[in-house]
DNA sequence: GCGGTATGCCTAA
DNA sequence: TAGGCCTACCGCG
């Protein structure tokens, strides 16, 4: 689940659940130093929760920040308070007035300072899900990059929040081959790429899952797009658009999915 | 119960 | 580029 949409949705939900409260903080698994954050009653005052790309920041009183990165396996379990007993693998547990949160399997869950938080976000490219995002940094880099666009989209220092699923789907919808060098892409295609990425990510935040089919509009409340129909090429054997075979190869240790017929290399590189 | 798989990313060589 | 981290889930038997 964890591409940018998951993280931004978590920030929104958790901010609503806990911001402004003295939250009971613990680490049933013992690998997060909750005792360094809490007062004698086991609680700490949470001011707000913020997302930047795939990074989450829980900002507590006193400029103390819990930095979370879900990695490949990380997952949240959100329940009403009082919640049932924690599973033993729970790295971080937050108990608020109405909701209780458990975090399992994250790559990062650490107590940092506000300066550390700034240093982390400073390393990231613009995030299409943030109001303050400036896509010009992305355009400027791609316009002179020899690197394939398929690699650039996954590079969090160039554009952040995009993962393997959105990469495959954005390139497919724009009919761009993943091996196209950045600088071969027309400016108009780049602008469309940013807008499409932002639109798909926003839809993901609302639907709490990645759906790139059936346009950018949200599914009707009860109309759940079946899993096998939620992407065009990602993890599919046959292209949803042309029904031809989906090709895969490994680029920087990640499997790229694309359709050779819909995304020819020449066409994209004019 | 076991083995394979996954939407990520860091480090060593 | 390969390996490691770390967990849930699913299909198979």
pLDDT in 10s for each residue of chain A, 270 residues: 689 999 999 999 999 999 999 999 999 999 999 999 999 999 999 999 999 999 999 999 999 999 999 999 999 999 999 998 889 999 999 999 999 999 999 999 999 999 999 999 999 999 999 999 999 999 999 999 999 999 999 999 999 999 999 999 999 999 999 999 999 999 999 999 999 999 999 999 999 999 999 876 655 555 677 777 899 999 999 999 999 999 999 998 899 999 999 999 975 444
The model's pTM is 0.94
Q: Which residue has the tokens 């989450």?
A: A56
The pLDDT of residue A267: 52
Residues A144 and A109 in one domain: no
How far apart CA A57 and CA A266 sit, in angstroms, is 42
| Residue A90 shares a structural domain with residue A168 | no
Distance A195 CA to C8 C1' (A): 33
Tokens of A19: 């911001």
Look at residue A150 in the predicted model and tell me its pLDDT.
Answer: 96
**Domain that includes residue A238, residue range:** 136-268
Asked if residue A127 is part of any domain, the answer here is no
Instruction: Provide the number of structural domains found in chain A.
Output: 2
Residue A2 is a catalytic residue: yes
Boundary (domain end) residue, out of A122, A145, A161? A122
A148 and A42 within one domain: no
Judge if A176 and A141 occupy the same domain: yes
What was the pLDDT predicted at A270? 46
Whole-number distance in Å between A252 CA and C12 C1': 32
Position A123 scores a pLDDT of 95
Bases of chain B below 7 A from a protein C-beta are: 6-10
CATH number, domain containing residue A211: 1.10.8.50
In the listed set A71, A87, A122, which residue is the last one of a domain according to the structure?
Answer: A122
**Which of A90, A122, A154 lies at the terminal end of a domain, its last residue?**
A122
Q: Can A35 be counted among the known catalytic residues?
A: no
Dihedral in degrees, nearest 10, Cα atoms A259, A260, A265, A266: -130
Residue A243 lies in a domain: yes
- Domain with A24 in it: what CATH number? 3.20.190.10
Q: Which conformational region is residue A68 in: left (phi greater than 0), alpha (psi within -120 to 50 degrees), or beta? A: beta
A235 touches strand B (CB under 7 A): yes
Please indicate, yes or no, whether residues A18 and A114 belong to a single structural domain of this protein. yes
Regarding whether A248 and A141 lie in a shared domain, the answer is: yes
Same domain, A172 and A237: yes
Q: Same domain, yes or no, for A179 and A237?
A: yes
Whether residue A152 lies inside any domain: the answer is: yes
Same domain, A140 and A263: yes
A53 within some domain: yes
What is the model's pLDDT at position A221? 53
Q: Is A105 a domain residue?
A: yes
Residue at minimum CA to C1' distance from nucleotide C4: A107
């Amino acid at each position: 689940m964890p591409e940018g949409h998951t993280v931004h949705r978590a920030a929104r939900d958790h901010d609503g659940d806990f911001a402004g409260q003295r939250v009971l903080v613990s680490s049933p698994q013992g690998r997060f130093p909750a005792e360094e954050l809490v007062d004698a009653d086991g609680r700490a005052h949470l001011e707000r929760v913020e997302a930047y790309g795939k990074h989450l920041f829980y900002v507590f009183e006193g400029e103390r920040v819990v930095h979370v990165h879900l990695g490949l396996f990380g997952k949240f379990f959100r329940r009403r308070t009082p919640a049932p007993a924690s599973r033993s693998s729970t790295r971080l547990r937050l108990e608020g007035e109405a909701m209780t949160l458990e975090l399992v399997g994250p790559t990062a869950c650490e107590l940092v300072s506000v300066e550390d938080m700034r240093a982390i976000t400073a390393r990231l490219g613009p995030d299409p899900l943030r109001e303050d995002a400036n896509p010009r940094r992305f355009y400027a880099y791609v316009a002179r990059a020899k690197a394939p666009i398929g690699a650039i989209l996954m590079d969090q220092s160039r554009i952040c929040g995009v993962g393997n699923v959105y990469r495959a789907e954005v390139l497919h919808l724009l009919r761009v081959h993943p091996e196209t060098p950045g600088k071969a892409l027309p400016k108009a295609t780049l602008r469309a790429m940013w807008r499409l990425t932002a639109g798909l990510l926003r839809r993901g935040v609302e639907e709490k899952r990645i759906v790139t089919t059936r346009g950018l509009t949200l599914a009707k409340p009860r109309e759940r797009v079946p899993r096998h129909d939620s992407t065009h090429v990602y993890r599919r054997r046959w292209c949803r658009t042309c029904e031809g075979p989906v090709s895969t190869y490994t680029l920087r240790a990640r499997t790229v999915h694309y359709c050779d017929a819909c995304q020819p290399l020449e066409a994209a590189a004019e």
